[in-house]
Amino acid sequence: MKNLRKIDKSNMRQVILDFPKQFRIGIEAARNIPKSNIRYPISNIVICGMGGSTLPGDILKMTNDQLLITKLPILVHRDYGLPKEVNKESLIICISYSGNTEETLSALRESWKRNLRIVSISSGGKLIEFSKKRKIPFAKIPGGIQPRCALGYQFAGLLKILSGLRIIKNIDRKLLDLEKTLTPKNFEGTGRKLAQRIKGFIPLIYSSTRYQQLARIWKIKFNENSKIPSFFNIFPELNHNEMTGIGECENKELRDKFIILILYDKETTSDILKRMKILSQIFRDRGIKTIFIEIKGKNFFEKIFSNLLLADWTSYYLALLQQINPTPVVLVEKFKRTMAS
């Protein structure tokens, strides 16, 4: 395995091991956001970003669905400009890890033109430059890693901004506790074994509606770290369509390329758990491999980030098993350069 790690030329392994430290740094980056720039009342929260920089918004929505940390509607916008739900009382939070994401800069500029309430989060780039010149409050987080690896910085910064604006209660302590309770090394062996089982297959990640954002992030990790196709869906909806497309596919060679990863926890309702078990048996009868992955943790945040650490290790080792450096996303960068030309 040490020989395999030589492929990891950007040392993503160390980035994963250091992940729990990101929460403290993210909180500090957003601690002194000037509140005087933000007008009240606020009608909704609109988080604008792309790729790994929208993941904090996804986790925020999932957290709010379970813990109700705010009664304000939360929208995640993955596009140019602003969504139609934006109004003069919206709070716009623009997140771009690089600071140069074309779509997010478009949202920032439109927000400024419309004189909306804006806060930005970035490691630098044009987003920070624009914010400085126009005195838009911003949190500057450390750079140097891939956006998909910077979720701790961005999520902690986002929550600190919202608590500083009195939109949510201060939950710094819960995030800071993760630095002590999350031990990435504990998940490495399981992730390596999962990668060995998944190698050569196309992963389909299925979950309940409650954890659909986790399923989405697993899919993203496989796409960007492992450089393989991957897709996600949710119960019970997938039992009404996708199940047929996979299970009744007459092309056995195609059907046999899939492997199903089912995310669940002890709070999964009996109806959904029954669906998971039945689907697994149906697929296994047709020769389609399925793996159940339990989401474990003492509290909601520990569950979320423990599971995502497992996704990191699994996709990381899957890349190494294919002799691929997991860090670069060459095609994404090439596409951005072509768009900018």
240 an active-site residue?
yes
Q: How far is CA 132 from CA 157, 178, 240, in A?
A: 18, 32, 50
H helix or E strand, kind and range, residue 207: strand 202-208
Helix boundaries (H) for 115-264: 125-133, 151-164, 172-181, 185-198, 212-221, 242-247, 252-255
77 an active-site residue?
no
The type of residue at 12 is: M
pLDDT for the residue 174:
94
> Which listed residue (188, 224, 227, 303) is catalytic?
224
SS3 72: coil
Architecture of the domain defined by 9-180: 3-Layer(aba) Sandwich (3.40)
Nearest to residue 193, comparing CAs of 310, 307, 88, 284?
A: 310
How many residues are given for the chain?
A: 341
Q: What is the pLDDT along the chain (341 residues), one digit of tens a residue?
A: 667 778 998 999 999 999 999 999 999 999 988 877 788 999 999 999 999 999 999 999 999 998 999 999 999 999 999 999 999 999 999 999 999 999 999 999 999 999 999 999 999 999 999 999 999 999 999 999 999 999 999 999 999 999 999 999 999 999 999 999 999 999 999 999 999 999 999 999 999 999 999 999 999 999 999 999 999 999 999 999 999 999 999 999 999 999 999 999 999 999 999 999 999 999 999 999 999 999 999 999 999 999 999 999 999 999 999 999 999 999 999 998 999 88
Q: Where in the chain is the domain with CATH 3.40.50.10490?
A: 9-180, 182-321
pLDDT for the residue 1:
61
CA 318 – CA 18 distance, rounded (Å): 20
> Which listed residue (21, 61, 199, 336) is catalytic?
336
> Which listed residue (133, 240, 250, 253) is catalytic?
240
Angle value at C-alpha 18, between 123 and 210, nearest 5 degrees: 80
Q: List residues bridging with 191 in a β-sheet.
A: none
CA 64 – CA 78 distance, rounded (Å): 19
Write the CATH number of the domain with boundaries 182-321: 3.40.50.10490
What would the two tokens of residue 87 be?
């109004």
110 an active-site residue?
no
The type of residue at 163 is: S
The type of residue at 325 is: N
Query: How many alpha carbons lie under 13 Å from residue 80 in its C-beta half-sphere?
Result: 2
Nearest to residue 177, comparing CAs of 15, 20, 18, 14?
A: 20
The type of residue at 223 is: N
Q: List residues bridging with 44 in a β-sheet.
A: 90
> 0.85 cut: is pTM over it?
yes
